[in-house]
Amino acid sequence: MRKSPLMAPSEPPSTERNAPSVEAAFQAAPPEMVAEILDGELHLSPRPARPHTHAASRLGILIGAPFWLGQGGPGGWVILYEPELHLGPRPDKLVPDLAGWRRERMPDALGGEEAPAHYDLAPDWACEVLSERTRLRDKGPKMRIYAREGVRHLWHVDPLARTLDIFRLQGSDWLLVHSFAGEERVRAEPFEAIELELALLWS
């Protein structure tokens, strides 16, 4: 286990709000783009390329069936694909590729008819699929925001390099717990109850 060089800052949380022009641009973002606000700055990204979408979709199936639906696994989680998260007082607005909440923290994932489309409860696990367009963002501000909000587990999946990096939050720092690659069969926290066949993500 080693400490990641990407650590959360120890500064007190900011009370600064997003500028109205940034919020307006976020709301006006075209549907074919992924819009996020990180540290008060708007980021627009085109929809992911095929390797990215392929890996995220397959991982969602492999994790979702045993841990969300309880099929071949223990259940006890809510696993969502590309949820919009509003975190912190600004708020920061993030779209992880996958996110998971322990069911006791989100007993009603659907919410009622008046429930907003976004979620303001930080997940217990987030997964970012890295691409050349988003790598610096995923490894920089998004990683810091997840740490600030107390997300306990973070995965980085690189479909071109065929790697899976597992991070655990310890205090305010990310620890790189494991790095897996290729066609390994792995047990990765917080989903150690099943064996994950990495080859299924790339094939």
pLDDT digits (tens, 9 = 90+) for 123-148: 999 999 999 989 999 999 999 999 99
Mean pLDDT (whole number) for 181-198:
96
The pair of structure tokens assigned to 55 is: 């890996």
45-62 pLDDT tens trace: 988 889 999 999 999 999
**How high is the pLDDT of residue 109?**
80
Residue 29: CB partners within 8 Å, gap ≥ 6? 35, 44
* Domain total of the chain: 1
The whole domain housing 58 covers 2-202
Alpha helices by DSSP H, 33-99:
50-67
- Tell whether the model's pLDDT for residue 100 goes beyond 60: yes
Say which CATH number the domain at 101 has: 3.90.1570.10
27-36, 56-65, 152-161, 186-195: least confident range: 27-36
Confidence of residue 14 (pLDDT cuts 50, 70, 90): low
- Nearest C-alpha neighbor of 100 from the set 117, 136, 124: 124
Q: Whole-angstrom Cα distance, residue 10 to residue 146?
A: 13
Local structure of 42: helix, strand or coil:
strand
